[in-house]
Amino acid sequence: MSSALPDCCQPLAAEEKFRFACQPGATCFTDCCRQLDLALTPFDVLRLKKRLKLDSGCFLEQYVLVAWEEGMIFPACFLTMIDDGKASCVFVTIQGCSVYADRPAACRAYPAGRGISRRVDGSAEERFVLLREPHCLGFAESAEQTAPEYFHAQGLTEYNRCNDQLLRLLQHPKIQAGFRLSQAQMDQYVMALYNVDFFRQEMADGRIAMRRPLAVAELRALAGDDEELLLLGLRWLLQEYFGETA
Ligand code: SF4
Ligand code: SF4
């Protein structure tokens, strides 16, 4: 694993402490919000669209670039950056992040990162890395913590809980065996996991359907529970791609 990491990125054991604190007064304040590729998870989009009081379709149209290139299995959704010569995040201001309480998981985790893989029993196995970028002065601070402690303090627990469910799809045995998505299946992926309000409407109107009766939680999803809706979208994709109806 370490050989594939860039020089500034080191593996970090779960119990290993690192010194870091981000201070709003630091001269590097918001440098980390520029010149970056910020991949959004489905849960990031739920939080941001709710904060901005936007329908998911409007949010995607205004703020997201959907990308896919040869070698990628699933399409990726990136937050758009501003063309200001510094490729700044669309949400950064002189005061800091304008969506701070609902900032994406990658922003919360920085300068650490978390990778997960699926064990045979379906549970998630975590790995951590630390990114020591030269512009970030937070490493000079004295606060010490492990990656799990840092993530908990940054409010990542509910993000990870939701995103980890997607492993069932992202690391499905058939994907690992070489199953690849058609263009129509990529469109389904973006709709079910990112354009969730559209997905909800399509399902409520009967244009897309599960091959089994909806469970109580799935009915809640149609009635407005966005987190349940993501799970319903996940189950629908597993049905459409692999014929799973559980
Ligand atoms: S560059 Fe590092 S210390 Fe500076 S604002 Fe960003 S995270 Fe905080
Ligand atoms: S969403 Fe907020 S924290 Fe994340 S890059 Fe943009 S301004 Fe920075």
- Split at pLDDT 50, 70, 90, the class of 209 is very high
Distance from the CA of 194 to the center of ligand 1, in angstroms?
28
The overall average pLDDT reported for the chain is: 94
Pick the ligand that lies closest to the CA of residue 89: 2
Does the CB atom of residue 22 touch ligand 1 within 6 A?
A: yes
Distance from the CA of 92 to the center of ligand 2, in angstroms?
6
**Which residue out of 8, 22, 36 has the highest number of ligand 1 atoms within 8 Å of its CB and is therefore the one to mutate?**
22
Q: Is the pLDDT of residue 34 over 80?
A: yes
**Which residue out of 28, 97, 132 has the highest number of ligand 1 atoms within 8 Å of its CB and is therefore the one to mutate?**
28
Does the CB atom of residue 31 touch ligand 1 within 6 A?
A: yes
Tens digits of residue pLDDT in 164-176? 999 999 999 999 9
Q: Is the pLDDT of residue 146 over 80?
A: yes
Q: Is the pLDDT of residue 220 over 50?
A: yes
Does the CB atom of residue 143 touch ligand 1 within 6 A?
A: no
Give ligand 2 pocket residues (Cβ under 6 A).
33, 38, 89, 91-92, 97, 99, 103-104, 107
The strand pair at 76-79 and 64-67 is best described as: antiparallel
Distance from the CA of 71 to the center of ligand 1, in angstroms?
32
Nearest residue (by CA) to ligand 2, atom 4, is: 107
**Which residue out of 86, 137, 154 has the highest number of ligand 1 atoms within 8 Å of its CB and is therefore the one to mutate?**
137
Report pTM. 0.94
Percentage of residues in the chain with pLDDT exceeding 70?
Answer: 98
Pick the ligand that lies closest to the CA of residue 102: 2
Q: Is the pLDDT of residue 120 over 90?
A: no
Percentage of residues in the chain with pLDDT exceeding 90?
Answer: 89
- What the block records as the tokens of 239 is 């049905």
**Which residue out of 35, 38, 82, 135 has the highest number of ligand 2 atoms within 8 Å of its CB and is therefore the one to mutate?**
38
